[in-house]
A and B are shown apart, each in its own frame.
Chain A
Amino acid sequence: MADPMKIRANLVGDSTEVKVLMAHEMETGQRKDAQGKTIPAWHITNVTATHNGKPVLAAQWGPAVAKNPFLSFKFKGGAKGEKVQITWVDNRGDTRTDEATIA
């Protein structure tokens, strides 16, 4: 089971600013270990964000994204107390969903 994300969602003017930290290895599949064996790729492939169940962001990620990724985005609307939900899926089929309340 993957470690939880850190999500912050703040109302700035008429839009919501969301900052997400994800705990993930993001292994590219390009590196070799001490024995010279290729370390298999293991990275997040899809990220989705929903606000009150409605999708506000969908992203496809590849091996170029750094380890323990930080994602920051804004969307129009949102009100204090409402929920923002983030989900990631990686290429091993592992997934994690966390939720934050807009402050």
Chain B
Amino acid sequence: MPLRVALVAGLAAMVGTSLAQTSTEEGIAQYREALQGGNPAELWEARGEDLWKQPAGPSKTSLERCDLGLGPGMVKGAYAQLPRYFADADRVMDLETRLVWCRVKLQGMSEADAKKNPFGAGNDHKSDLEALVAYVTSESRGVKMNVPLAHPKEREMYALGQRMFFYRGGTHDFACATCHGDTGKRIRLQDLPNLTTIEGAQKAYTTWPAYRVSQGELRSFEWRLNDCFRQQRFPELAYTSDAAIALTTFLARNANGAAYDGPAIKR
């Protein structure tokens, strides 16, 4: 009798799964949807807002006068226009680089202190930078991506980023384009966006930064690039380096026209 019960139950389960799993992608989509209601990225956004508004560093100033490209203190929509050229620094900067710059110039931190702990690791090593990134990006939710290429240095960065994207190297002779240049590719269960198409670039760029459920951390865009470099067996991508900014400029510009939709949530 117990056996029969088990068989019936087994059969029911099989029917259930075949109906529910019409495709793996659909299953993943359902999982993503279930996660959508409560995105822990909000916890980072809240902490980042506090960090933004609280006086800190040797000069005991807040970041509220930090100019993210739209004027001092303008946070709303700023991320949708980054990276861009900043005349005061005479450099194209992405969000992370600009945050470090403001921490140095406004808060009086040393460059090393301002860059410390860029990627958080658990409760004891929370990253202030990732929290700040979460806050600033959340203030651009719904804003159309509009990364400028007006300044010659911005165009230079874009061209450099484009070259890097297609540049093959490392022990595996990999380029970014090796994984992100075709439609329908996957790493295990992860769909890889085709970043050479407009839709692919838009969908990918507008959903970073993101809360990674598997890591329990909010991850910034530089983290994303850094980890791609690791997977390619490239040399480590230096935080806030021109290389990181160039690649970000290339990818951000290609997402122009789409509404920014982060910080998102990913597996």
Residues of A in contact with B (beta carbons under 8 Å apart): 3-4, 6, 19-21, 23, 25, 66-68, 70-72
Contacts and interface: CB of A to CB of B under 8 A. Distances in A.
A34 to B, nearest CB: 12
Given A19-B37, A21-B38, A68 B122 contact: no
A26 B46 CA distance: 20
A25 B217 CA distance: 11
Contacts of A6: 42-43, 46
Contacts of B216: 66-68
Interface of B: 37-40, 42-43, 46-47, 122-123, 213, 216
Contacts of A68: 40, 43, 216
Contacts, number: 32
Contacts of A23: 40, 43
Given A25-B123, A67-B216, A3 B47 contact: yes
A39 B3 CA distance: 41
Contact of A25 (B38, B43, B46, B122): B122
Chain A CB within 10 A, most for which of B38, B122, B123, B213: B38
Contacts of A21: 38-40, 42-43
A71 B40 CA distance: 11
Contacts of A70: 37-38, 40
A66 B37 contact: no
Contacts of B40: 21, 23, 67-68, 70
A72 B37 CA distance: 9
Contacts of B123: 25
Contacts of A19: 37-38
Contacts of A66: 213, 216
A96 B40 CA distance: 17
A6 to B, nearest CB: 5
Contact of A72 (B38, B42, B213): B38
Nearest to B211: A68
Contacts of B213: 66
12 contacts: A3-B46, A3-B47, A4-B46, A21-B38, A21-B39, A21-B42, A21-B43, A23-B40, A67-B216, A70-B38, A71-B38, A72-B38
A4 B123 CA distance: 14
A4 to B, nearest CB: 7
A4 B50 CA distance: 12
A56 to B, nearest CB: 19
Nearest to B42: A6
A17 to B, nearest CB: 10
A63 B134 CA distance: 28
A84 to B, nearest CB: 16
Given A21-B43, A23-B43, A71-B38, 12 more contacts: A4-B46, A6-B42, A20-B38, A21-B40, A21-B42, A25-B122, A25-B123, A66-B216, A67-B216, A68-B40, A68-B216, A72-B38
A71 B37 CA distance: 10
Contacts of B38: 19-21, 70-72
Q: What are the 4 tightest A-B residue pairs by CB atom distance, in nearest-first order? A: A70-B38, A68-B40, A67-B216, A23-B43
B267 to A, nearest CB: 12
A69 to B, nearest CB: 8
Contacts of A4: 46
